[in-house]
Amino acid sequence: MCEASDLNRLPIFRFHPNAYDLDIFEVLDGVCEACEMPRAMRYKSSFYAMEDVEYICPWCIADGTAARVFDGEFSDAAGIEAIPEGTSFSVEVYEAESLEVATCTPSYVSWQQEEWRSHCGRPCAFLGDIGANDLPQYLTEPDFAADVNGGLGWDPASILNDLERGGDFAGYLFRCLSCGAHRLHVDAC
């Protein structure tokens, strides 16, 4: 149905560099509902649209076709920024990049709704899940420490002790594309 070469030329997502490693795509022959082309890979994470869409290929995510055809978003553009109190970075986030995250970047799997972090006035890249054992290597970074220490509205002791990769109390790691600083999002079922 599809050419095997499809999987050798997958699009790259600058705000989600590990997208193909994080179980949000599956190799499955089908027809993309956005471009109506036979494809070999299907997106299986969040897509917010009025229509229920079953098969979206990564190419239609990357070029914005899926968002445009179905008037949808992969992440809430208005919710890109969540700022911990007492941090040093800007409240304003570059609008064009926020729209790129919302309409041309696959989301990630979380319990409630994904929240995309930002830093240096632009959306960060989503790196993957993070647990309590992973936190110490980032706690020397002021903005990451602010996220952990109450900036996200969660009890810091719970984050430091109970955060679990892919668990019921889950953490999500982001990295600033400008300066390399890390940010955290926490969610629970």
State the pLDDT at residue 152: 83
pLDDT at 1: 46
Confidence of residue 87 (pLDDT cuts 50, 70, 90): very low
- pLDDT level of residue 93 (50, 70, 90 thresholds): low
As a whole number, the mean pLDDT across the chain is 89
Q: Is the pLDDT of residue 86 over 50?
A: no
Per-residue CA distances from 103 to 128, 133, 187 (Å): 19, 33, 22
How far apart are alpha carbons 61 and 64 in whole angstroms? 5
pLDDT tens digit string along 114-164? 889 999 989 999 999 999 999 999 999 999 999 999 888 899 999 999 999
